[in-house]
């Protein structure tokens, strides 16, 4: 998980201030020495780490503790605010042109994940009601155009390509095609290099002149750490970058890129790639990322994921079934499917306050739902609707069909019965009939 090492060390340093009645200069200095080392080990830019610790110390030293906060909580609050500030303060949204289409030009080094991020961004925009088109302008990397076409098919987004034609000409034709077919967003996937060179920059400048993009978005690999700052500065000097898309934030990225690039370049991080799946993209919220790093959870993102995953109509349907006590294993399966839409179990649990640090040495099985899903799918429609008819012979057949054991089938039925009992105790309350779970 990204930031795991940084998170653990920061929380350890801040815990040493708990229990003090006043924040002395020496106590704060000792704690911030550890904080500075943790930031440097996470490959955060040296000047960023130094300035961050200076600002935190300036705010902490000699301050009386608020009545509602302990010293540790006071420092945590200050660190959270300053960390949020160095990552941009607030979410930076995409801007839109007055004409159609709005053009976003993606650029970056080869291997940073531009092509995949282009498709991810197209999918995210589609969910916001936009009609994006992708333009394939990487004519050098083998199979780059084919890759974009495959990804475009996965997100149901058209891809405009003209083979190895001059990218500047392709861009002009792509804009006309987008207008003709009523696509209101054009995302340009440009070529990259293993390093920044004059040929690459000259081509990107010509593509920029042809496309006149609303925003130039630099795709940065979070795994590159502090070096991402140098890349961002070089691209910005040549192209005047408007924002940054951070990829591979789900890997063992130490955090240097996310914590350095905004402070050094002044360019906001607009989106982050949080997984390998095409839907694994989310707007970058500095305050939420800071809360995750400090072990405070990220309830807002968790709520948004839940709202996106759970269908309101299905929720109402389930509520009616709970009221009439007509829950079936099909309903149980549907709930599991919706839970899977929220992402991996590890990522969901890491957003709960205080849980992230406890998961460090715990193996969370993201395939935990596969076995019960296989068991339910091995049942007949009649058995799913009436689990009480599952005698010994039926359970043996289901176990064989799902590649599990009879004990696994029995465990699932017990789990289903327990869920039914819990839901039976849920009572509607208030004018709108919302459900309430009684304390047990």
pLDDT digits 0-9 by tens, 253-289:
556 777 788 888 888 999 988 878 898 898 988 888 8
Q: How far is CA 368 from CA 13, 340, 371, 372, in A?
A: 35, 11, 7, 8
pTM above 0.85, yes or no: no
Of 16 and 139, more confident: 139
pLDDT over threshold 80, residue 220: yes
Contact by Cβ (8 Å): 419, 322: no
* Phi then psi dihedrals of residue 179, to 5 deg: -65, -45
Distances in Å between the alpha carbon of 307 and those of 138, 289, 318?
A: 36, 20, 16
Give the pLDDT score at 425.
Answer: 61
Q: Tokens at residue 294, please?
A: 């400090």
In this structure, are residues 226 and 259 in contact, taking their beta carbons and an 8 Å threshold?
A: no
Beta strands across the sheet bearing 102-107: 159-160, 132-137, 185-190, 102-107, 215-221, 243-247, 269-273, 281-283
Mean pLDDT of the 65-85 span = 70
Please report the pLDDT score of residue 91 as a whole number: 84
* Domains of the chain as residue ranges with CATH: 4-86 (1.20.120.140), 102-295 (3.40.50.300), 303-436 (1.10.260.30)
Instruction: Find the mean pLDDT for residues 379-388.
Output: 89
319, two tokens: 């509520």
Segment (H or E) for 216 = strand 215-221
Question: Residue 277: its pLDDT value, please?
Answer: 85
385 versus 226: which is more confidently predicted?
385
C-beta separation of 143 from 155 below 8 A: no
Instruction: Extract the tokens encoding 67.
Output: 């009545």
- pLDDT tens by residue, 122-156: 999 999 999 999 999 999 888 899 999 999 999 99
Average pLDDT over residues 213-231: 85
429 has a pLDDT exceeding 50: no
Q: Above 50 in pLDDT, residue 342? A: yes
Segment 285-310 shows an average pLDDT of 65
Output the pLDDT for position 302. 56
Q: Which of 107-121, 170-184, 354-368, 390-404 has the least mean pLDDT?
A: 354-368
171 pLDDT higher than 60: yes
Which segment of 30-34, 132-136, 349-353 scores lowest on mean pLDDT? 349-353
User: Which of 118, 119, 122, 139 lies closest to 131 in space, CA to CA?
Assistant: 122
For the chain, the helix, strand and coil percentages under 3-state DSSP, each to the nearest 5: 55, 10, 35
How confident is the prediction for the chain on average, in pLDDT? 79
Which pLDDT score is estimated for 265? 83
State both tokens at 14: 């801040």
Kind of pairing, strands 281-283 and 269-273?
antiparallel
Is the model's pLDDT at 383 over the cut of 80? Answer: yes
Q: pLDDT grade, residue 116 (50/70/90)? A: very high
Confidence of residue 438 (pLDDT cuts 50, 70, 90): very low
């Amino acid at each position: 998980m990204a930031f795991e090492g940084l998170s653990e060390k920061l929380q350890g340093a801040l815990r040493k201030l708990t229990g003090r009645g006043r924040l002395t200069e020496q106590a704060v200095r000792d704690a911030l020495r550890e904080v500075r080392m943790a930031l440097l080990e996470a490959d955060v830019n040296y000047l960023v780490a130094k300035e961050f610790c200076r600002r935190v110390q300036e705010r902490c030293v000699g301050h009386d503790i608020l009545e509602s906060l302990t010293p540790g909580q006071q420092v945590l609050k200050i660190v959270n605010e300053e960390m949020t500030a160095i990552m941009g303060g607030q979410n930076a949204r995409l801007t839109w042109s007055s004409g159609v289409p709005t053009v976003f030009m993606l650029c970056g080094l080869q291997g940073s994940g531009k092509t995949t991020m282009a498709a991810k961004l197209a999918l995210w925009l589609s969910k916001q009601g936009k009609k994006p088109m992708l333009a394939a302008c990487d004519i050098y990397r083998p199979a780059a155009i084919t890759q974009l076409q495959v990804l475009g098919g996965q997100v149901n987004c058209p891809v405009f390509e003209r083979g190895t034609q001059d990218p500047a000409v392709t861009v002009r034709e792509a804009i006309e095609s987008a207008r003709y077919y009523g696509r209101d967003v054009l995302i340009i996937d440009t070529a990259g290099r293993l390093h920044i060179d004059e040929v690459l920059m000259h081509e990107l400048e010509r593509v920029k002149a042809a496309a006149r993009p609303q925003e130039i978005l630099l795709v940065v690999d979070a795994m590159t750490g502090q070096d991402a700052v140098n890349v961002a500065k070089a691209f910005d000097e040549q192209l005047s970058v408007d924002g940054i898309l951070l990829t591979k934030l789900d890997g063992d990225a130490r955090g240097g890129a996310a914590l350095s690039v905004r402070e050094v370049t002044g360019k906001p991080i607009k989106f982050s790639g949080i997984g390998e799946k095409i839907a694994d993209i989310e707007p970058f919220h500095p305050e939420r990322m800071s809360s995750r790093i400090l072990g405070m959870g990220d309830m807002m993102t968790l709520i948004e994921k839940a709202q996106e995953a759970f269908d309101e109509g299905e929720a109402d349907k389930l509520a009616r079934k709970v009221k009439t006590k007509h829950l079936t294993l099909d309903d149980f399966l549907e709930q599991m499917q919706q839970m899977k839409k929220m992402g991996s179990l590890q990522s969901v649990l890491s957003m709960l306050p205080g849980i992230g640090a406890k998961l460090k040495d715990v193996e969370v099985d993201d395939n935990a739902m596969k076995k019960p899903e296989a068991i339910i799918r091995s049942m007949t429609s009649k058995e799913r609707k009436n689990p009480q008819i599952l005698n010994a012979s039926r359970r043996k057949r289901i176990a064989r069909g799902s590649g599990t054991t009879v004990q696994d089938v029995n465990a699932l039925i017990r789990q289903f019965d327990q869920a039914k009992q819990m839901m039976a105790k849920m009572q509607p309350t208030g004018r709108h009939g919302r459900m309430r779970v009684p304390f047990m």
